[in-house]
């Protein structure tokens, strides 16, 4: 099974096949509107505006599994993102990314590129402990440690990188540019 075999649900409830994105570079992100990393929407939208004409897409999947940081409805989340950050990239229906109810796409992404750590530093270690405590309830089915985890997919559908929310957005941008 590959990335193009998955189907996801658009915000309006319609099914979307990821095969619709064949030939594009994708950045797949799980997001939340009430997270300390929510400002990532700004550099994400800037990247989208800069690179979308070169075949780049960002696929945004809101998730409320991390300290209830995305409690709103799909419409409320979309309104927040478009009004506060001017986002134009596709935003899909809110999903689960961990546990028995994890969306199969995120189980696949988490298996293809598993968590390797948030990085060094006191804040990152603290986030790892907090994330571990939050995610205990999902047992062995923890594919995502926290909001704003990003997976980079090349034009052939290969998952080539994973970026935790603590990674520098300039590094994400450089990887996207290299993939294009």
Active site residues: 35
Q: Is 159 helix (H, G, I), strand (E, B) or coil?
A: strand
8 Å CB contact between 51 and 177: yes
CA distance linking residue 62 with residue 67, whole number of Å: 13
* Residue 43 exposure: Cα atoms within 13 Å on the Cβ side: 18
Q: Give the length of the chain.
A: 180
What is the number of other CB atoms lying within 10 angstroms of the CB of residue 108? 19
Place of tokens 């006191």: 122
What is the rounded distance in angstroms from the CA atom of residue 110 to the CA atom of residue 80?
27
Handedness of CA 108, 100, 32, 4 (dihedral sign): positive
């Amino acid at each position: 099974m590959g990335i193009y075999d998955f189907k996801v649900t658009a915000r309006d409830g319609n099914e979307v096949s990821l095969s619709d994105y064949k030939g594009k570079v994708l950045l797949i992100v799980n997001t939340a509107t009430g997270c300390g990393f929510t400002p990532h929407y700004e550099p994400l939208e800037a990247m989208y505006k800069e690179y979308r004409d070169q075949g780049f897409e960002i696929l945004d999947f809101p998730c409320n599994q991390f300290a209830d940081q995305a409690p709103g409805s799909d419409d409320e989340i979309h309104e927040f993102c478009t009004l506060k950050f001017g986002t134009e990239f596709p935003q899909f229906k809110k999903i689960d990314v961990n546990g028995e109810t994890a969306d199969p796409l995120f189980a696949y992404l988490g298996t293809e590129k598993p968590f390797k750590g948030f990085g060094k530093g006191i804040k990152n270690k603290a986030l790892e402990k907090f994330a571990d405590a939050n995610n205990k309830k999902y047992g062995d089915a923890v594919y995502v440690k926290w909001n704003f985890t990003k997976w980079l997919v090349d034009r052939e559908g290969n998952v080539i990188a994973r970026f935790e929310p603590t990674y520098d957005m300039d590094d994400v941008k450089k990887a996207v540019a290299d993939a294009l």
